[in-house]
Chain A
């Protein structure tokens, strides 16, 4: 299967030993991988070219942040741009006097009929009175299919057989809706090629009669490069107001959604997630972006990591660290945040380049180590946490007893903690010579890094 973009980027950056700012050369090497990843995800060739150009502008000269590796940083930019391009999710347009009309259009086999029924079910749950309209008079048993689905979810279907023109069927359905107080009509139209002139004219006619509040283009997640012409073709003839992507439960990346969104500007509204009637999900740009990049996990982690600490917290912590004030309270705080993210091994596996470490740690119960550390810190008094130097032998015995550990465990933790404090103090002094905060941020790249604490934890394995 596809390697995730972050793994590939990690490979690209491994030999570059990037410091300070990303150079054009670094960025170009990375962008090659970005381009390949997007093409593998079926994003249209020309959309990819535009997109990569934009990423390049943002990435060159970017400061390397201490909190993310260069690879992660490029991934972050790519992800942010993807999310932005995919846009916000949009609900169905249900404003206006009932009966409102939703119209589903698309290629043959895309999933229109199934989606029509799913939407009907969803709308009824929201208190609407939907009526399904069988406007596909061509595909053999298309009406029977919609009737069957309607029966399954107990929603009425208006059908006039295969001899009446679809626009007339729709007109009649609208009259019936007014008479019987249906609030939403959902039109299941026949699949058609955007290059089929006669069928596109039919669609225009239906639209004129129906004056739909929403015209949803239904697109299969497996669609390749042609998605762009298909979407443009439909959009030119019956202005589309929303995109629905089906069969997202498969293993296609779904890059077509990005292409279509880019060339039509139409919002993505729903995703089809199964053949069953409840297989309908609202669209989330971040999830789809992660899927397109084949790396939802890393992005989730980066998100979580950035969320875990606010800008102010980060700055305050930075000052404390620089001044060597980092105490057991801070330590516990960090530990708790770390654990909220999940098991350490899982987290490490999500981080590009840390997979190795995760494997080394596998089977060793690091999480229970963390719990133990937390227990020890919890058994300290506030004063002890703030001023670890007061921890004499009798205090340590008490703490060991209170946390269900041994004095040896407590000693180890205190020793590791002191080492860490020293390390941080040195780093802080280095920084002070440089002066401004901005410079200090870049300098952090060279500080004893993340391995510090993990190695400490490892060596200081309690028990």
Chain B
């Protein structure tokens, strides 16, 4: 009957005082650090549980956490491993294996002009990372040009120009508000002609992956690149903030669909966040991490090292 839809108000059974008390307790006590998981000698159920917890706390995500723990467990049983230190090595191996890239990065391939597109959500660190990449490849002997493709955010162009100056590379820009695809078109022309460049890195405005129009704009930018330069963009790098939680996988999926992401740059790894979401992304989408950002200075960029990363994540 209709009454099913018009339910009566539920009686209040909550005990406010009790809740307040437990809140207090939480604030003071439970946020102590997880101890080093593998110092106990024998492999036990508690070990697996703590391990699961460590991965979840690093934003690895439920599914990938369970799969990693299961595959480690299976190997530990199969290989008759007893000591927890050895079990730890197995887990590390599993994680490293998962994170290893199958293909080399395309930026240094010999090519007349390599075009790199840098994409990501707002504030993830795109513009800063582009400055760092410019310096890195300039030092490797590349002739680098940057395209100021973020024409939307206030002073985004000025920001890229400052980074360009710091790295000592040219920046191609138009007025704020102009069409980013047109900026890229110009920048490709300039790279091929006057600047004689062999590496063009394109900044883009931050966009949340659920914004249909903005994601379409990325597709348009890609088409412009593809039309002018054979097989461009040669790399499309998604810049991901290490503190991102479960939204990371949605970001990767969204940007992958709209712009064919080929690699991840994990920024702000100098923070307290572990960036475990990249395991989930690699597992589900096969997109490898290429670089990590470790600070706000020009040289704070490192090639991604699975072993170092995994050790950092597990708190070595």
Contact B14 A80 (CB under 8 A): yes
Interface string of A294-322 (1 = CB under 8 A from B): 00000000100110111100100100000
Contact B27 A252, beta carbon cutoff 8 Å: no
- Are A111 and B6 CB-contacts (below 8 A) given A47-B26, A84-B19? no
CA distance A40 to B65 in the complex (A): 12
Binary CB contact string for chain B from 154 to 179 against chain A (1 if under 8 A, 0 otherwise): 11101100110010000000000000
Segment at the interface with B among A18-26, A90-98, A448-456: A448-456
State which size class the interface on B falls in: 35 or more
Q: Tell me if A439 is interfacial: C-beta within 8 Å of chain B.
A: no
Contacts of A341 in B (CB 8 A): 5
> Given A107-B271, A337-B6, A449-B1, A36 and B244 touching (CB < 8 A)?
no
Q: Mark B8-43, 1 if CB is under 8 A from A, else 0.
A: 111001100001001100110011000000000000
Interface centre among A76, A139, A227, A335 (most CB of B within 10 A): A139
Asked if B123 and A141 make an inter-chain contact with CB atoms under 8 angstroms apart, the answer reads: no
The complex places the Cα of A265 from the Cα of B27 at a distance, in Å, of: 9
Most chain A beta-carbon contacts within 10 A, residue among B62, B154, B156: B154
A208: min CB distance to chain B, Å: 25
Q: How far is the CA of A62 from the CA of B241 in the complex (A)?
A: 43
Interface residues of B in 136-188 (CB under 8 A from A): 152-156, 158-159, 162-163, 166
Bound Cα distance A309, B244 (Å): 43
- A205 contacts B by Cβ under 8 Å: no
Task: Please determine whether B159 and A226 come into contact, CB atoms closer than 8 angstroms.
Answer: no
User: Could you say which of A9-17, A176-184, A228-236 contacts chain B?
Assistant: A228-236
A1 contacts which chain B residues (CB < 8 A)?
250
> How many contacting A-B pairs (Cβ < 8 A)?
229
Task: Say which residue of A76, A263, A310, A448 sits within 8 Å of B1 (CB atoms).
Answer: A448
**Is A42 engaged at the interface, CB distance under 8 Å to the other chain?**
yes
Q: Which residues does chain A contribute within 8 Å of B121, judged by CB atoms?
A: 222, 247, 250
List A contacts of B13 (CB < 8 A).
58, 62
Q: Let me know if B6 and A225 touch, CB within 8 A.
A: no
Question: Which listed residue (B3, B125, B211, B268) contacts A67, Cβ 8 A?
Answer: B3
- Return A62 CB to nearest CB of chain B, in Å: 7
Residues of A within 8 A of B241 (CB): 109, 220, 222
Q: B56 touching A45 by the CB < 8 A rule?
A: yes
B158→A141 contact, CB < 8 A: yes
What residue of chain A has the Cβ atom nearest to residue B25's Cβ?
A50
Contacts of B307 in A (CB 8 A): none
Complex-state Cα separation, A308 to B163, whole angstroms: 59
- Is A249 a contact of B208 with CB atoms below 8 Å? yes
Q: How far is the CB of B86 from chain A (nearest CB, A)?
A: 26
Residue in A58, A145, A256, A264 whose CB lies within 8 Å of B245? A256
B148 to chain A: closest CB distance in Å? 12
Tell me which residues across on chain B come within 8 A of A262, comparing CB atoms: 23, 26-27
Cβ-based interface call for B277 (8 A)? yes
Q: Which of A108, A225, A233 contacts B296 (CB 8 A)?
A: A108
Q: How far is the CA of A251 from the CA of B10 in the complex (A)?
A: 31
Q: If A223-B244, A224-B245, A232-B31 touch, does A141 touch B162 (CB 8 Å cutoff)?
A: yes
- Which 3 A-B residue pairs are closest in the complex by CB-CB distance? A67-B7, A224-B245, A109-B123
Question: Which B residues have a C-beta under 8 Å from some C-beta of A?
Answer: 1-10, 13-14, 19, 22-23, 26-27, 30-31, 53, 56-59, 62, 121-125, 152-156, 158-159, 162-163, 166, 208-211, 241, 243-248, 250-251, 268, 270-274, 277, 296
Enumerate 19 A-B pairs (CB-CB under 8 Å) in ascending A order. A42-B245, A49-B30, A67-B5, A139-B159, A222-B251, A224-B245, A224-B248, A227-B245, A230-B272, A247-B208, A249-B211, A251-B209, A252-B247, A264-B27, A275-B153, A424-B1, A448-B1, A450-B3, A453-B1
Residues of A within 8 A of B (CB): 1, 36, 39-42, 45-47, 49-50, 53-54, 58, 62, 65-68, 73, 76, 80-81, 84, 107-111, 138-142, 144-149, 152, 193-195, 220-230, 232-233, 247, 249-253, 255-256, 262-265, 275, 302, 305-306, 308-311, 314, 317, 334-335, 337-338, 341, 347, 351, 420, 424, 447-450, 452-453
